């Protein structure tokens, strides 16, 4: 009898898993970690927040006794907090904790407004980008962009310590890395922005990239010229943005970041268009790669090479014409479905 074969049995009903059982997206994982870490900052180390008050009396007296010119009270409190001493990245005082701080600083924030701005970037830019590069890649991109941004800030701090040295926290370098990748992958995609948080404007991502680069560059040059820095890590922003452009130029076509990790599934980036077409079409398509897991590619090749001819044979000659090997291939294909 043929009805005892797996591929002849009636299809069993399939039920979708609940939303809580679905795998989290990469940007959601990163955003959740940032929010949870910020809540821990509020509970465990309120002195690490710019808006924390009141300050301990002993700390306030120590600040008052400092010789002029003394740092701001908020910066003084931060320097004496657990976060400021151990987890933030201080580009003015490089210690043996540097390798750890290159990663820990990326999940810390100086206040609610700081977290809100970076959180919005993770939500909007990360969500738009993940469909193109995948969950593992976007998490790796976050970490590496943050490290490259920190190294840029450290480099400028070595040459211009008065303008760029100081403790640094926040996910903004990683967010700028996301922007760099998205803008270089889809330079002609249009987005709406709120200029000065009021005026809506529509821009292509190509101009968003170069506008962000120009703002960072002008801010760096202004700090060097005036010999006065501000609380924004402009060099880290530039570093993250440039790394995003490098990622698209050098890594996308070679398998992304995952190819450097042994044992991790490789990722193939496939152009959204066909291989054929005019030269102009192929030039447009390179900017729009589509991420495909290597296991999915292998499975698709298996279905097209092995299973499709067997199905054609069944439709023409009937299921009784199948050989034992062809029946085994169908069993294998059903187990993959």
Same domain, 207 and 298: no
Q: What share of the chain is helix, strand, coil (3-state, %, to 5)?
A: 65, 10, 30
**d(C-alpha 268, C-alpha 121), whole Å:** 26
Confidence of residue 238 (pLDDT cuts 50, 70, 90): very high
Backbone φ and ψ of 263, nearest 5°: 90, -10
Per-residue pLDDT, 63 = 46
pLDDT in tens, 95-152: 788 899 999 999 999 888 999 999 999 999 999 888 888 888 899 999 999 999 999 9
Same domain, 188 and 257: yes
Same domain, 109 and 242: yes
Per-residue pLDDT, 183 = 92
Q: How many domains does the chain have?
A: 2
Same domain, 123 and 188: yes
Per-residue pLDDT, 278 = 42
Q: Higher pLDDT residue, 217 or 131?
A: 217
Name the DSSP letter for residue 271.
Answer: E
State the average pLDDT for the chain.
75
CB 213 within 8 A of CB 315: no
**d(C-alpha 59, C-alpha 44), whole Å:** 17
Is residue 17 pLDDT above 60, yes or no? no
Select from 225, 221, 228, 116 the least CA-distant residue to 172.
116
Per-residue pLDDT, 2 = 46
CB 272 within 8 A of CB 189: no
| pLDDT > 70 fraction of the chain, expressed in percent and rounded | 65
Same domain, 258 and 304: no
**d(C-alpha 191, C-alpha 319), whole Å:** 54
Domain boundary among 220, 244, 262: 262
Per-residue pLDDT, 218 = 93
Is residue 158 pLDDT above 80, yes or no? yes
Among 8-17, 21-30, 80-89, name the one with the lowest average pLDDT.
8-17
Same domain, 255 and 292: no
Select from 41, 75, 36, 77 the least CA-distant residue to 60.
77
* Enclosing domain of residue 290: 272-336
Domain boundary among 233, 262, 291: 262
CB 206 within 8 A of CB 115: no
Could you give the angle at which helices 172-185 and 135-159 cross, rounded to 10 degrees?
120
- Of the chain, the end-to-end C-alpha distance in Å amounts to 23
CATH code, 250: 1.20.1540.10
Residue 70 placed within a domain: no
Could you give the angle at which helices 324-336 and 294-302 cross, rounded to 10 degrees?
150
Residue 115 placed within a domain: yes
Same domain, 35 and 155: yes
pLDDT in tens, 250-307: 877 666 676 666 655 555 554 443 333 444 444 444 344 455 444 444 455 555 566 7
CB 297 within 8 A of CB 139: no
- The helix or strand, by DSSP H or E, that contains position 203, with its residue range, turns out to be strand 199-204
Q: Higher pLDDT residue, 26 or 320?
A: 26
Tally of CB atoms within 10 A around 233: 30
Same domain, 219 and 256: yes
* Global pTM value: 0.69
Is residue 172 pLDDT above 90, yes or no? yes
Domain boundary among 237, 262, 287: 262
**d(C-alpha 236, C-alpha 240), whole Å:** 6
Same domain, 155 and 244: yes
Same domain, 165 and 286: no
């Amino acid at each position: 009898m043929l009805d005892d074969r797996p591929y002849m049995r009636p299809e069993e009903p399939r039920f979708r898993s609940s939303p809580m059982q679905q795998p989290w997206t990469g940007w959601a994982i990163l955003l959740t970690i940032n929010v949870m870490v910020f809540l821990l900052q509020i509970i465990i180390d309120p002195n690490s927040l710019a808006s924390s008050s009141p300050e301990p009396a002993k700390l306030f007296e120590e600040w008052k006794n400092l010789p002029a010119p003394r740092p701001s009270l908020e910066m003084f409190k931060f320097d004496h907090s657990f976060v400021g001493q151990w987890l933030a990245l201080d580009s003015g005082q490089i210690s043996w904790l540097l390798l750890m701080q290159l990663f820990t600083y990326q999940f810390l924030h100086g206040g609610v407004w700081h977290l809100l701005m970076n959180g919005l970037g993770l939500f909007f830019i990360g969500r738009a980008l993940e469909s193109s590069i995948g969950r593992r890649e976007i998490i790796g991109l976050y970490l590496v962009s943050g490290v490259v941004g920190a190294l840029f800030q450290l480099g400028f701090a070595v040459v211009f310590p008065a303008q760029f040295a100081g403790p640094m926290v926040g996910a903004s370098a990683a967010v700028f890395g996301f922007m760099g990748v998205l803008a270089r992958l889809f330079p002609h995609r249009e987005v709406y922005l709120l200029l000065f948080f009021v005026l809506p404007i529509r821009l292509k991502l190509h101009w968003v990239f170069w506008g962000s680069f120009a703002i960072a560059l002008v801010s760096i040059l202004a700090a060097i010229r005036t010999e006065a820095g501000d609380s924004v890590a402009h060099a880290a922003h530039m570093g993250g943005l440039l790394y995003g452009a490098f990622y698209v130029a050098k890594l996308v076509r070679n398998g992304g970041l995952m190819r450097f990790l042994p044992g991790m599934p490789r990722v193939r980036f496939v152009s959204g268009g066909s291989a054929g077409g005019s030269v102009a079409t192929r030039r447009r398509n390179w900017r729009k790669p589509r991420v495909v897991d290597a296991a999915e590619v292998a499975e698709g090749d298996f279905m097209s090479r092995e299973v499709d001819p067997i199905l054609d044979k069944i439709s023409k000659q009937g299921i009784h014409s199948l050989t034992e090997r062809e029946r085994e291939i169908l069993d294998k294909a059903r187990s993959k479905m």
